[in-house]
Amino acid sequence: MTIRFDGKTAIVTGAGVGLGRCHALGLAARGANVVVNDLGTAPDGSGQSSQAALDVVNEIKAMGGRAIADATNIANVTHVNAMVARTINEFGGIDILVNNAGILRDKTFAKMPLHDFERVLDVHLMGTVNCTQAVWTHMRDQEYGRIVFTSSGSGLYGNFGQSNYGAAKASVVGLMNVLAQEGARSNIRVNILAPTAATRMTQSLLPEETLDLLQPETITPGLLALVCEDAPNKMILGAGAGCFAETRITETQGVALVGDDLTAEGVIAAMAQIRDPNGAEVIENAFAQTRKYARMAAAARGLDLPWDT
């Protein structure tokens, strides 16, 4: 199977440099029309320039592709709606959205000004929300859409000094879990790419020999797989150095406490069993978890539930 995007149009945010640039070039090389969105800021979100986006557009045109540059600030919903309208006017529709733009303002939590926390959330979370909502109705009406959110190991597992970034990157997981369900009936598939790459945002954090392995080009194949026609849905794809793995949120079998055991002391006493990973499972949705607990509690009490569990 050869993956192509002929006739498809993609918006890639933060596409002027690093991962976003590789994603935009990778989509264009396989036939997609690409909107290269980039505000042209420094890694901390300061400054502004349209040159990086224009350079990527020129690269795409040099390979025979179609692309336009866009300097929209994704944290501004009015500007995002204008970007989407311009894209539809230019290319006739939108099939793919890659939410990639981001900034870093690292400090320990005790030393972090709240405006730095809010600014990172504005870009990573609200920027993703703004862009996704702006294309959602269009994709729903055409009964086709492929959307990718960008998370990170900092959000999935934590990283010292990145409470704002980690919170933002974890929050898109919850957003994906809901939208993957809401979009499924309209053939909108929503996934997460969790990359670790050598970019402007990581070059000061990793040794040179590691950076050589973690080039953005080693991650873009995963992105292309997440936005193709046969893409999965509701997947967190870890990617780095040509390595790919799925991150899953699982729940242990757990315990049902009753009677005198249903106390804080009982929970502590059962902690080893609560945390036992044997038999851990992926929970389909929030109500499935509710049903699981009701079923366990009923069994522990010898009860029959009046509804199917």
In sequence order, what are the beta bridge partners of 282? 250
What is the pLDDT at residue 42? 75
pLDDT, tens digit (0-9, with 9 covering 90-100), for 248-270: 999 999 999 999 999 999 999 99
CB neighbours (10 Å) of residue 289?
A: 12
Q: Nearest Cα to 170, choosing from 152, 191, 155, 159?
A: 155
pLDDT, tens digit (0-9, with 9 covering 90-100), for 111-131: 999 999 999 999 999 999 999
Q: Is the pLDDT assigned to residue 308 strictly greater than 60?
A: no
- The mean pLDDT value for 97-111 works out to 96
Contacts of 239 (CB under 8 A, 6+ apart): 193, 194, 195, 196, 218, 219, 222, 223
pLDDT, tens digit (0-9, with 9 covering 90-100), for 31-44: 999 999 999 877 77
Q: Is the pLDDT assigned to residue 206 strictly greater than 80?
A: no
Token pair of 258 as six digits = 């009753």
Token pair of 114 as six digits = 């709240």
What pLDDT band is residue 306 in, cutting at 50, 70 and 90? confident
Q: Which stretch of DSSP H or E encloses residue 238?
A: strand 236-240
What is the pLDDT at residue 204? 58
| 9-247 CATH | 3.40.50.720
Least confident of 47-51, 103-107, 152-156: 47-51
What is the pLDDT at residue 307? 62
What is the pLDDT at residue 4? 98
How far apart CA 198 and CA 205 sit, in angstroms, is: 9
Q: Is the pLDDT assigned to residue 209 strictly greater than 70?
A: no
Domain ranges of the chain: 9-247, 250-301
Coil, strand or helix at 250: strand
What is the pLDDT at residue 188? 99
| Residue 165 is a catalytic residue | yes
How far apart CA 5 and CA 11 sit, in angstroms, is: 13
